[in-house]
């Protein structure tokens, strides 16, 4: 084939291909139109896809595990009451500040139509916790027993008798406001670890945490009282955690004690004791005389034997934070319960967003310890901050590893707190204007231990109403510092200190800035005073009080003066400054002031019941015989929540 022929063939092929593609001029136009249609459809499809992705992103919550119910509600733009209702429907008893685990968060978010993406520090902590122990390495451990029940039913007194210490005497008002952990050796030489939880209604979260770390729950009910709300709540917590229950019927030494009445009330809530053919062990005890306490401990140990509690002491320690506080001389003191492994002085520990080396360990009596095995409660020194009650404690291999995880967690915590803080929007301003006199009470809460701070914040938030909102700006463990006073000054807040005092610098600064610092040692005193303050912030209601009734007997029309009514005061006392309304046949015709009040020809300052007088009204002359003039006063009445 010659080069000319091959060139010709190539050109013919190109022409044929172009003709086929274009199909002539008309075909070319059709292709363009089709291209434009496809392009428009493609753009619309891309836009729809972008919208769906954006909607999906807005419906995905990015958060860390153990977020509080209040913060979760804030992220979902829902009411915290709705979140708590959902939890109750699922059989979970939560309070506003109670931290929720991953499973609970996922279920709750799903109820509100949200997906959850957990932000977590990639660490080996989970590996440390879920490490399967070799069955041969497991050894028997002491049972962890939580004592729960209603306030003032004798939980701490019972524990006092068991461990021969006087705890209740050291509590303000004789009411437990902290969670305590104690180790007791019975007469048979066996060890039991006791957790004492508060019975006051404010400490829901503490009871929930106590039920989670425990093996057996002792529910204390006073035999001279009845099954109270916190008794029922404690039973619910124990059942939700799948923990065996032993009922202790306390105060049987009292004259009015009636244990059968309590058993009857328990049977009404499906807690049938063994004496009545049920499955729950019960024991009548007296914390005062010690009657029945040995039998109670035997029943607890029997439950423990059935559970076959074991742990491996030859591994890195894993435990739970029971309580954390700031001690002026010693720094941050953390009460932890070692659940598995052995914790030694000098170990590097990680607890929530804080880490440190264990400098010293003491038992509940303050006796120094060098190591703590499974089921042992200890107070440890060395952490750089106060972890939150309920945080996991893990012994780490290296300080560097612990520091990296702690820093990452701290960043996540900070990022999350920024996202849960809701700033005021135009809609919110509009809502407040619509309500009218919307007020906000800003509070900074400082306490001696984390659990009490949480419970107090919880109770204060519950006081919020539609007109006065309680806003907890900051809460923390430790003395009231100058930075707390500066924050209060910048945001018009009051500072509430629970079992803590301000430093000298903070006290002086507070006087200078005129910041109100309130200090309390009993939780309900703090709640009641804040409630009173909020009632003071509510606009008072104006109430009318009728002070006089005057009957018009005769009417005089006097030139240049106007109409004057000759009246008889039938009830009360009328004065010149009394506001009046004119009533005719039961219908109010006029409301206003008195122009003149006379007795005969003289001006009178007041006229009492049974006397006659002359009255002229300001701006109203249509007075008739038989009219009733009512005198009234407006009184401001203080409103209550």
Pairing of strands 541-558, 587-599: unpaired
152/259 same-domain check = yes
Enter the tokens of residue 122: 């990639």
Q: Residue 135 domain-assigned?
A: no
550/632 same-domain check = yes
Dist CA 473 CA 443 (whole Å): 6
Q: Which domain holds residue 21?
A: 17-58
341/411 same-domain check = yes
- 143: part of which helix (H) or strand (E)? none
197/291 same-domain check = yes
pLDDT of the residue at 50: 62
- 550: part of which helix (H) or strand (E)? strand 541-558
324/191 same-domain check = no
Dist CA 590 CA 570 (whole Å): 20
**Mean pLDDT per 10-residue segment, the chain (641 residues):** 61 66 53 64 67 58 72 79 82 74 82 76 43 68 83 78 56 48 76 73 58 80 80 79 83 80 81 78 81 83 83 83 78 85 87 87 82 85 82 85 82 69 61 64 84 80 75 82 85 84 82 83 79 69 81 87 88 89 84 88 87 89 88 74 47
Dist CA 453 CA 443 (whole Å): 12
Say which residue the tokens 């002085």 belong to.
345
| Paired residues of 392 in beta bridges | 320
Under a CB-based contact definition with an 8 Å cutoff, are residues 172 and 499 in contact? yes
| Paired residues of 222 in beta bridges | 250
547/605 same-domain check = yes
What string of DSSP letters covers 234-289? HHHHHHHTT--EEEEEE-TTSTT--HHHHHHHHHHTT--BGGGT-SBEEEE--TTT
Q: Residue 128 domain-assigned?
A: no
329/351 same-domain check = yes
146/277 same-domain check = yes
**Overall pTM > 0.75:** no
Q: Residue 183 domain-assigned?
A: yes
Domain CATH for 569: 2.40.30.10
| Paired residues of 495 in beta bridges | 444, 517
Q: Residue 89 domain-assigned?
A: yes
157/301 same-domain check = yes
Domain CATH for 508: 3.40.50.10050
pLDDT of the residue at 46: 65
Length of the chain (residues): 641
Pairing of strands 517-520, 493-498: parallel
3-state secondary structure 26-75: HHHHHHHHHHHHHHHHHHHHHHHHHHHHHHHHHCEEEECCCCEHHHHHHH
148/293 same-domain check = yes
CA-closest candidate to residue 394, choices 437, 351, 427, 362: 351
Helices (DSSP H) in 436-583: which residue ranges? 450-461, 482-491, 504-513, 523-537
Under a CB-based contact definition with an 8 Å cutoff, are residues 113 and 59 in contact? yes
| Last-in-domain residue among 68, 83, 118 | 118
Pairing of strands 602-603, 562-575: unpaired
Under a CB-based contact definition with an 8 Å cutoff, are residues 116 and 106 in contact? yes
User: 207 vs 180, 197, 213, 250, 548, CA distance in Å?
Assistant: 12, 6, 10, 19, 59
| Last-in-domain residue among 308, 333, 365 | 308
407/528 same-domain check = no
95/244 same-domain check = no
Q: Residue 6 domain-assigned?
A: no
Say which residue the tokens 């009512």 belong to.
630
Q: Residue 108 domain-assigned?
A: yes
pLDDT of the residue at 569: 92
Q: Please give the tally of structural domains in the chain.
A: 6
Q: Residue 236 domain-assigned?
A: yes
| Last-in-domain residue among 279, 308, 337 | 308
Q: Residue 573 domain-assigned?
A: yes
């Amino acid at each position: 084939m010659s080069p000319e022929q091959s060139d010709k063939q190539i050109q013919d092929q190109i022409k044929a291909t172009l003709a086929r593609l274009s199909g002539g001029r008309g075909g070319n136009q059709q292709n363009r139109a089709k291209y434009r249609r496809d392009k428009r459809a493609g753009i619309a499809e891309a836009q729809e896809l972008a919208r769906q992705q954006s909607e999906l992103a807005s419906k995905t919550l990015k958060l860390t595990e153990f977020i509080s119910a209040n913060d979760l509600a804030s992220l979902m733009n829902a009411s915290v009451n709705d979140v708590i209702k959902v939890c109750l429907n699922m059989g979970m008893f939560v309070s506003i500040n109670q931290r929720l685990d991953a499973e609970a968060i996922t279920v709750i978010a799903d109820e509100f139509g949200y997906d959850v993406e957990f932000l977590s520090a990639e660490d080996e902590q989970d590996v440390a916790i879920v490490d399967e122990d070799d069955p041969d390495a497991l050894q028997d451990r002491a049972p962890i027993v939580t004592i729960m029940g209603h306030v003032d039913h004798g939980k701490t007194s019972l524990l006092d008798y068991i461990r021969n210490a006087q705890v209740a005497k050291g509590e303000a008002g004789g009411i437990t406001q902290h969670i305590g952990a104690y180790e007791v050796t019975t007469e048979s030489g066996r060890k039991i670890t006791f957790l004492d939880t508060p019975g006051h209604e404010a400490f829901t979260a503490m009871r929930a945490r106590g039920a989670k770390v425990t093996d057996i729950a002792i529910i204390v009910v006073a035999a001279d009282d009845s099954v109270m709300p916190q008794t029922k709540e404690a039973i619910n917590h124990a059942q939700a955690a799948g923990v065996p229950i032993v009922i202790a019927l306390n105060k049987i030494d009292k004259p009015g004690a009636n244990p059968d009445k309590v058993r009857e009330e328990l049977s009404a809530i499906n807690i049938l004791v063994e004496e009545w053919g049920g499955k729950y062990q019960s024991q009548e005890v007296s914390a005062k005389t010690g009657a029945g306490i040995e039998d109670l401990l035997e029943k607890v140990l029997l439950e423990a034997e059935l559970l076959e509690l074991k742990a491996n002491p030859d591994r890195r320690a894993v435990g739970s934070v029971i309580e954390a506080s700031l001690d002026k001389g010693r720094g941050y003191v953390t009460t932890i319960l070692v659940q598995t492994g052995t914790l030694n002085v000098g170990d590097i520990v990680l607890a929530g967003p804080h880490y440190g080396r264990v400098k010293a360990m003491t038992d509940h009596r303050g006796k120094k310890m060098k190591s703590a095995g499974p089921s042992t409660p200890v107070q440890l020194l060395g952490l750089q901050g106060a972890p939150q009650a309920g945080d996991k404690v893990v012994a780490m291999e290296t300080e560097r590893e612990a520091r990296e995880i702690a820093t990452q967690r701290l960043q996540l915590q900070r990022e999350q707190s920024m996202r849960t803080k809701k700033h005021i929007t135009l809609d919110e301003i509009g809502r407040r204007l619509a309500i009218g006199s919307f007020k906000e009470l800003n509070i900074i809460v400082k306490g001696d231990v984390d659990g009490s701070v949480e419970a107090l914040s919880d109770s204060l938030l519950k006081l919020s109403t539609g007109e006065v909102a309680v806003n907890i700006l900051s809460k923390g463990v430790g003395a009231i510092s100058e930075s707390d006073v500066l924050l209060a000054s910048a945001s018009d807040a009051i500072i509430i200190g629970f079992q803590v005092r301000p430093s000298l610098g903070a006290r002086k600064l507070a006087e200078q800035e005129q910041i109100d610092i309130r200090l309390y040692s009993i939780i309900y005193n703090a709640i009641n005073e804040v409630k009173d303050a909020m009632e003071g912030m509510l606009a008072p209601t104006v109430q009318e009080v009728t002070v006089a009734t005057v009957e018009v007997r005769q009417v005089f029309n006097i030139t240049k003066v106007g109409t004057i009514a000759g009246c008889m005061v039938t009830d009360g006392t009328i004065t010149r400054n009394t506001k009046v309304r004119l009533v005719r046949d039961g219908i109010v015709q006029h409301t206003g002031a008195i122009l003149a009040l006379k007795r005969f020809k003289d001006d009178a300052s007041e006229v009492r019941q049974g006397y006659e007088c002359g009255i002229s009204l300001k701006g109203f002359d249509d007075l008739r015989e038989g009219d009733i003039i009512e005198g009234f006063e407006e009184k401001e009445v203080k409103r209550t929540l």
